[in-house]
Amino acid sequence: MFRYVGKKILELIPTLLIVSMLIFFFIHLIPGDPARLVVGPDANLDEVNKIREEMGLNDPIALQYVSYMNGIFQGDLGSSLKTGLPVTEMFENRFKNSVLLTLFSIIWAFIFGIIIGTVSAVFKNKWPDSLGMLTAVSGISIPGFWLGLILIQLFSVQLGWLPTGGADSWKHFILPSIALGAGIMAMIARFTRSSLLETLGADFIRTGRAKGLRELIIIPKHALRNSMISVVTITGLQFGFLLGGSVVVETVFSFPGMGRLLIDSIAFRDYPVIQALLLLFSVQFILVNLLVDILYSVLNPKIRTMGS
C-alpha cells in the first residue's frame, strides 16, 4: 500500500511543475502592467520603471519563474498589488471558509445522492425511482446562481430563517452549500443508480439471493460496495471542482471565500493573488485525484496490485 501511494506521489511532481509553469506564463500574457497598477495612472514613466525594477519585471521571464518558484518553496506567494498584504495572509480565513463550504456541500450531496440513487435502483421503474430521477434531473438542470437567488428570496427575505451572506456562523453555510451541492447530489444519484443496477444483475448477487440472504444485507454489504468505484470517481472529481469552482455561488451569497477573492482580484488585475489562487486550485484538484486513486485501491485491491 505504501509503495503504491509513494509511486503516485512521485508521479505528481512533474505534473505540479508543468502546471506552475503554465499558470506563471499565462498570467504574464494578460494585458496590463502590474507596476502601473501599483503606482497609479498618474505616475510618470520613471516611477513606473523604478517599480518594475523593484518587482523584478525587467528580468527575463525564465529568471522571474525561477525566482517565483524559489519564493513558493520558502512559503512566499508574493504580496497583493491592491492591499500590499502578503498573499498567504489574505488566504488564511478565506481558505478555511471555502474548504468548510465545500465539505458541507459534498457531504450532504454524497449522503443524499447515495440514498436517492439506491432507492431508485431498488424500486426500478416504480414511483420512488421516478421521483428520485426527477429530483436528479432538476438538480443538474437548475443553475447554481439561480438556485441561490431562490433560496435567498425564500429562506432569508420571506421567512427570515437564514442570513443572506457572510460566514460568521454555521447558519451562513447552509444556503450556499445547498446551492453549491445540488448539482453534485444529482450526479451522484444518477451514477449510483446506474452502477447499482448493473451490480444487482451480477452472478454473485443472484448467488447470494439463492442462498437466502436478505435484501437488507445484499444491497448495502455486497451490491453497494461493489458499485462505489464509479461513485467515488465522480465525487472526487466534483470535490476538486468545488474547491475552485464556487466562484458564482460565493458571489451570489457575498461569501468571503477563495472564489469571491478571485473575482475581486481579477477586477483589480491583482496578478500575484490571481496567480497564487490558480496554483492553489490546481494543487487542490491534483491532490483530490491522488486521494481518489488511494480510495480506488482500498475499494478494489486489484487496482493497487496492477499499479505497483
* Selection from 32-46, 108-122, 237-251 with the highest mean pLDDT: 108-122
User: What does pLDDT average to over the chain?
Assistant: 78
167 and 44 housed in the same domain:
no
* Residue 293 near residue 7, CB atoms below 8 Å: no
144 and 229 assigned to the same domain: yes
Are 227 and 194 within one domain? yes
Q: Are residues 242 and 279 in the same domain?
A: yes
In a domain, 82, yes or no: no
Q: How confident is the model at residue 25 (pLDDT cuts 50, 70, 90)?
A: confident
CA–CA dist 190, 118 (Å, integer): 9
Q: Are residues 130 and 246 in the same domain?
A: yes
Mean pLDDT value of segment 69-77: 80
User: What percent of the chain clears pLDDT 70, i.e. is strictly above it?
Assistant: 80
Residue 80 lies in a domain: no
CATH number, position 219: 1.10.3720.10
Which residue, chain included where needed, has cell 458499485?
A: 227
Do 99 and 64 share a structural domain? no
Same domain, 133 and 54: no
User: Does residue 175 fall inside a structural domain?
Assistant: yes
Same domain, 32 and 118: no
Residue 206 half-sphere exposure, CB side, CA atoms within 13 Å? 4
| pLDDT confidence of residue 299 | 60
Same domain, yes or no, for 99 and 56? Answer: no
From CA 201, how far away is CA 184, in angstroms rounded? 26
Whether residue 81 is contained in a domain is answered as no
171 or 61: which carries more pLDDT confidence? 171
Q: Residue 298: what pLDDT?
A: 66
Is residue 87 in a domain?
Answer: no
Domain extent at residue 202: 93-307
Between 140-144, 148-152, 174-178, 225-229, the lowest mean confidence (pLDDT) is in: 225-229
Q: 111 phi and psi, to 5 degrees?
A: -65, -50
Residues 301 and 175 in one domain: yes
Closest by Cα among 28, 23, 43, 33 to 81: 33
pLDDT at residue 218 tops 80? no
Domain total in the chain: 2
Give me the amino acid identity at 193: R
* pLDDT band at residue 67 using 50, 70 and 90 as cut-offs: confident
**Amino acid 282: pLDDT:** 81
